[in-house]
Structure 1
Amino acid sequence: MTSRTLKRILIGALAVGLLTLVVWLNSRRTTDAFGAVETVTVKPGEFGVEVFAVGEIDSEKSITISSGLKEEGKIVFLIDDGSRVEEGDVLVRLDPTPFEQIVAEFTSKVNEWNALVAAQQQSLEWEKIQADREVLTAAYELEVAELELQKKEKGDGPLELSRLQSIMLEENKKFEDMDGYIKDLVELEKKGYSNPLEIEQAKERVKKLKDASDAATRQFDAFREYILPTQIRTAKAKVEKSKMIIEQTRKAAGFQIGKAVAELDKSKQEFTAFSQLLEEARNELEKTVIRAPQPGLVVLKEAFRDGEMRKPRVGDSVIQNQPIVFLPDITSMMARVLIREVDLHKVDVGKPSEIRVDAYPELVMEGKVSFIGILAERRREVSGGEKYFKVNVSIRESDARLRPGMTARVRITAMEKTARALTVPVHAVFEEEGRLFCYAAGPRGIERREVAVGAQSEELVQIVGGIEAGDFVCLSRPPQRIVRKTKYLEPVRKAH
């Protein structure tokens, strides 16, 4: 037995002895004709309400680290249990080999589609240039055809028609002049001036001029009625054909460009899809290295592995969201305790508390209630069906020696101590008829008095009315036959 333990035992024994002495001095036995009843003197004194609970130390801010991989991963490195880590430190490494292979495969695909996209972009530009050239050529042909039509309608056509008309008129005039000359020779012959040879020669010339005049007339008529209109219609047809060709060229160019754009878009989609897959694969590869998101103390998470409950180790396989490491932030600690249902009304958020741990008895820490659960629960190790509520007590200044899971003993100050509070033992107050009573013992006998109570601790209850300092109250309910009368705080209304 250590000196520290012996010292504790002596201090405890002394405290018990003093408490026994105080109770003996404040109590006496009243004897009457009907028997003896133990009483206690009511007097003001120091009084406070405290709630005691036992629980465990835990971290206020803790994170469960799990695998983020979509596929199963294999642990190749695992930090030691209980290690202190800073933000960014490596906790777990999973085998990156399969994910590196996927990244390499998708990288190759992305490069292939990227090269194809570049080639198709050049092809598209060439198609655009080719289309522009063909459209410009067709437009040039249309312009030439329109100029040819204009030339036929307003240029060469009218000029040729005018030339042929001039030739026709000239030939007609020659014929008419020669024909008149013959007529003059005939008149002279009638007058006696006969020249048969000249007349014969003139007739031959008239015949030739007549043929030339008729030919010129026919040529003029043919050009005006048939040749020129045909040439104009031909030029117009060429214009329409050129218009049709330019329209077809534009459509064909649009089709070729559209086809090239569609192929390029498809390749871009494939490139984008594989780029996304590559990004996801890289993210998965990054997830093979699990780092600490905050400073803390490493606690390897126990789980069923290979048919047994144990902590993870190198070589284990893990799946997505399977917990591996529990990382509490030991700079912000608290105590998790269970409060009895009967004590719940004494506890409020913000109540000051005192926390001790069994591992370090000399360590006393201050804190306050930070959370009160809303659901009751039963403790299996406690019989009787008593219900408990979860309560968290935050520790004001955490100690570096604290570890999650340490046994914590918490004292919650429900009411600050007052110097002159009138109190009686809890078992001196009785609930009867829906009211609270104390049995006051005096020289004239025992009297039942209704009392108004205030706060209540484990052993004492505060009296705020019905009992005065110096009264003696019974610590147990006396037999009804020796109770002299009942005194109520308010008159009892009798039913009519």
Structure 2
Amino acid sequence: MQSGLREVAETGVLPMSTLIFHPQSTDLGRRARVETPVCPPVPPTKVSEGPAVTQAAGRGLLRGRRLLVASVAGALLAGAGWSWKQHGFGGASAPTHQYETTEKLVLHTVQRQSLPITITERGTLSSQKETRIQCDLETVPGQSGTRILWLVPNGTAVKEGDLLVEFDSAPLKDRVNAQTVLFEQSRAAQIQATVRLENQKTQNETNLAAARLKVEMAKLALKMYEDESGGTYKIALNDLESKIQEAKNQIKEAQAALKMKAARKHGVETLFKLGYRGKGDLDQAMHEHLSADFALVRSTNALGTAEANRQKLKQYEYPMKVLELTGTISTAERALSQVERDNEALLAQTGAAKTAADRAFATEEEKLQRFKDQLAKSKVLAPHDGLVAHSPDRTPWGRLVAEGELVTERAKILSLPDLTRMQVKLGIHESVVDQVRVGLPATIRIDAFPDVSYRGSVASVAVLPTQDSSLSSDVKVYDVVVTIDEDVTSLKPGMTAIADIHVRRLDEVLTLPVQAILQEEDSTWCYVSTPEGVVRRPLKLGASNNAQVEVLEGLQTEDRVVLNPQAIHDADPSHGFPGA
């Protein structure tokens, strides 16, 4: 024990042989919480920052823990030849206890200073950008899968554009060739359907124009027939009226001529009887009389015929012609409607054929492009620099991914983490996770490179806890991702890292090294060296980190506090040691 206290006096660090682990700690699987804290060397008049641990661990050292003193520590104290006499415990006015020991007490002068609050946790490195390389080739019908012809060796560092994996492309080439034929056939069918549609549109326009022309011609014919000022009916009626008038005039002329021929005949007959005219003159006179009479009959007949024709025109021919022309108009209009419906049906038919041809062409074109894309994917190039990590997953045939093996679509071949941008995945205890926010700065150290630190920041904080199998089932931890905000080299996924998350900083607060503080049940105190001797001073503590704790009540600046209080505590008569 004396050697242990001597080491404390010289280094400020309590030897590991005197560490007492709390039996009720809920996370012993992740860290050992000690009732006598271990800190880096702290000079008596200066506070040493020391390595930080999580605030939860600091609080666990200071609050709500029973101090368990190992029997071996008591035995060491008993054999150290200590002598002391009791003067009582208490605050500044309480009696003091004086100690005689061969070991020198290590003292620390209390000062006000800045107190950085950090949460420290160990985690593992991973890449911020890890690309999954998988088989994106469809399995060709008739094949069980796609065969790997070449695969980059595991652990190879590759550059962007390097070949990672090559699949067997022979079935895909055959598929592309067959699809090209179907594509050309569908394009020919599409062209033919397009021409038919355009021809049908032209034919529809022609048929429609012809049908409309017939309707207009029929209407015009009816209008021409019925026009009272110069229509066909009016012209025919006027012609008959003219013939009737002409016949009447001819009758009058025939009647006059007949009277004249009758008088001449009578004169010739008289002269023939008197012997002044011959037989020939008489016959001629009779013939002329008969001709005049025939002309009168003919004119009379012509008048009757003209009047009958006029009557027929008015009573029969006119209404019949109107009905005929009206029917022609109706027929033309119905033919126009039929043409319009036929045009619509034929246009819809050819349009549907064109749409079907377009869709068939688009389908075949899409399939051809998809097959070409598939063929292009038979060689997978590195999308960025990284380190090749083969997939540990097995194929459906129970074999690892390797050259010559068959894989199915979407099967993972390898992963390619970007080693220049890394991150640390942590598990933060539920007692302090509420203090962690996205954007908080952090400092990251790698176990493999202890002399190098990196700048980082909190990228994400899980909403739900993750059960840690290495801890008690009651312990809840939350996944927190801290990114390294600078390019790195020589780091590998899976390396152990320590992240110090800088929560906040308290300025001008009264601080005390954690190794000066003792706790037992609900009591927290330290030992202060005064001119009258060493006194026990109860404390009220605030925020803390692994090295320092904020003192709210119980101490003042310039107080000199014992940094190796365990020696005094072991000799405390209130704990049942000799002299109590």
TM-score when normalising by structure 2: 0.63
CA–CA distance in structure 1, aligned partners of residues 419 and 536 of structure 2 = 56
Name the structure 1 match of 2:180.
107
- Mean alpha-carbon deviation: is it higher for 160-169 or for 18-27? 18-27
Name the structure 2 match of 1:404.
493
Aligned partner of 2:415 among 326, 331, 343: 326
Aligned partner of 2:248 among 160, 169, 186: 169
- Tell whether the 8 Å contact from 1:440 to 1:447 is kept in structure 2 after alignment: yes
- Tell whether the 8 Å contact from 1:353 to 1:393 is kept in structure 2 after alignment: no
Q: Shift of the alpha carbon at 1:466?
A: 0.5
1:336 lines up with 2:425 in the alignment: yes
Name the structure 2 match of 1:490.
none
Name the structure 2 match of 1:485.
none
CA offsets, 1:406-449, max 9 Å, x none?
Answer: 2334556678899996525457332655x644466879898664
Give 3-state SS (helix, strand or coil) of 1:324's partner: strand
Name the structure 1 match of 2:359.
269
CA offsets, 1:245-284, max 9 Å, x none?
Answer: 5554455445444433332233223323333333444444
CA–CA distance in structure 1, aligned partners of residues 343 and 493 of structure 2 = 75
Name the structure 1 match of 2:196.
123
CA offsets, 1:199-257, max 9 Å, x none?
Answer: 85466335523431243124313432335535666566555555555554455445444
Name the structure 1 match of 2:91.
none
1:59 lines up with 2:132 in the alignment: no
CA offsets, 1:275-310, max 9 Å, x none?
Answer: 333344444444444333333222222213357684
Q: Which amino acid aligns with 1:225?
A: Q
CA–CA distance in structure 2, aligned partners of residues 209 and 305 of structure 1 = 126
Q: Shift of the alpha carbon at 1:104?
A: 3.6
Q: Which amino acid aligns with 1:81?
A: N
Matching of residues 484-495 of structure 1 within 5 Å: none
CA offsets, 1:100-122, max 9 Å, x none?
Answer: 44444443333223212222333
Name the structure 2 match of 1:487.
none
1:428 lines up with 2:517 in the alignment: yes
Give 3-state SS (helix, strand or coil) of 1:408's partner: strand
Name the structure 1 match of 2:72.
none
Q: Which amino acid aligns with 1:176?
A: Q
- Mean alpha-carbon deviation: is it higher for 37-46 or for 392-401? 37-46
Give 3-state SS (helix, strand or coil) of 2:394's partner: strand
CA–CA distance in structure 2, aligned partners of residues 460 and 246 of structure 1 = 102
Q: Which amino acid aligns with 1:430?
A: Q
Tell me: CA distance 1:197–1:417, structure 2 relative to 1, closer, same or farther (3 Å). Answer: closer
Name the structure 2 match of 1:32.
85
- Tell whether the 8 Å contact from 2:241 to 2:310 is kept in structure 1 after alignment: no
- Tell whether the 8 Å contact from 2:442 to 2:458 is kept in structure 1 after alignment: no
1:470 lines up with 2:560 in the alignment: yes
CA–CA distance in structure 1, aligned partners of residues 457 and 216 of structure 2 = 95
Tell me: CA distance 1:148–1:81, structure 2 relative to 1, closer, same or farther (3 Å). Answer: same
Name the structure 2 match of 1:217.
303
CA–CA distance in structure 1, aligned partners of residues 124 and 560 of structure 2 = 44
CA–CA distance in structure 1, aligned partners of residues 6 and 397 of structure 2 = 55
CA–CA distance in structure 2, aligned partners of residues 80 and 294 of structure 1 = 17
Give 3-state SS (helix, strand or coil) of 1:267's partner: helix
Instruction: State how many pairs are aligned.
Output: 464
1:157 lines up with 2:236 in the alignment: yes
Aligned partner of 1:365 among 444, 453, 458: 453
1:83 lines up with 2:144 in the alignment: no
Q: Which amino acid aligns with 1:62?
A: E
Name the structure 2 match of 1:43.
109
CA–CA distance in structure 2, aligned partners of residues 384 and 231 of structure 1 = 109
Matching of residues 193-342 of structure 1 within 5 Å: 201=287, 204-205=290-291, 207-226=293-312, 229=318, 241-242=331-332, 244-245=334-335, 248-305=338-395, 310=400, 312-340=401-429
- Tell whether the 8 Å contact from 1:301 to 1:324 is kept in structure 2 after alignment: yes
Tell me: CA distance 1:117–1:156, structure 2 relative to 1, closer, same or farther (3 Å). Answer: farther
- Mean alpha-carbon deviation: is it higher for 209-218 or for 225-234? 225-234
CA–CA distance in structure 1, aligned partners of residues 254 and 197 of structure 2 = 72
CA–CA distance in structure 1, aligned partners of residues 575 and 386 of structure 2 = 69
Q: Which amino acid aligns with 2:124?
A: E
CA–CA distance in structure 2, aligned partners of residues 124 and 418 of structure 1 = 85
- Tell whether the 8 Å contact from 1:302 to 1:309 is kept in structure 2 after alignment: no
Q: Which amino acid aligns with 1:96?
A: S
RMSD, aligned α-carbons: 4.9
- Tell whether the 8 Å contact from 2:516 to 2:561 is kept in structure 1 after alignment: no
Tell me: CA distance 1:345–1:439, structure 2 relative to 1, closer, same or farther (3 Å). Answer: farther
CA–CA distance in structure 1, aligned partners of residues 474 and 399 of structure 2 = 30
Name the structure 2 match of 1:10.
none
- Tell whether the 8 Å contact from 2:98 to 2:534 is kept in structure 1 after alignment: no
**Structure (1 or 2) with the greater strand fraction:** 1
Residue ranges of structure 2 left out of the alignment (5+ in a row): 15-42, 45-76, 89-96, 140-144, 226-230
Name the structure 1 match of 2:10.
21
- Tell whether the 8 Å contact from 2:110 to 2:561 is kept in structure 1 after alignment: no
CA–CA distance in structure 2, aligned partners of residues 51 and 247 of structure 1 = 88
- Tell whether the 8 Å contact from 2:395 to 2:407 is kept in structure 1 after alignment: no
- Tell whether the 8 Å contact from 1:365 to 1:396 is kept in structure 2 after alignment: no
Tell me: CA distance 1:428–1:248, structure 2 relative to 1, closer, same or farther (3 Å). Answer: closer
Residue ranges of structure 1 left out of the alignment (5+ in a row): 1-14, 483-496
Tell me: CA distance 1:86–1:214, structure 2 relative to 1, closer, same or farther (3 Å). Answer: farther
Tell me: CA distance 1:30–1:22, structure 2 relative to 1, closer, same or farther (3 Å). Answer: farther
Name the structure 2 match of 1:452.
540
Q: Which amino acid aligns with 2:165?
A: V
Q: Shift of the alpha carbon at 1:187?
A: 9.7
1:380 lines up with 2:439 in the alignment: no
Q: % of aligned pairs identical? A: 19
CA–CA distance in structure 1, aligned partners of residues 457 and 355 of structure 2 = 63
Give 3-state SS (helix, strand or coil) of 1:294's partner: coil
- Tell whether the 8 Å contact from 1:142 to 1:243 is kept in structure 2 after alignment: yes
- Mean alpha-carbon deviation: is it higher for 144-153 or for 392-401? 144-153
- Tell whether the 8 Å contact from 1:145 to 1:239 is kept in structure 2 after alignment: yes
Q: Which amino acid aligns with 1:277?
A: K
Give 3-state SS (helix, strand or coil) of 1:217's partner: helix
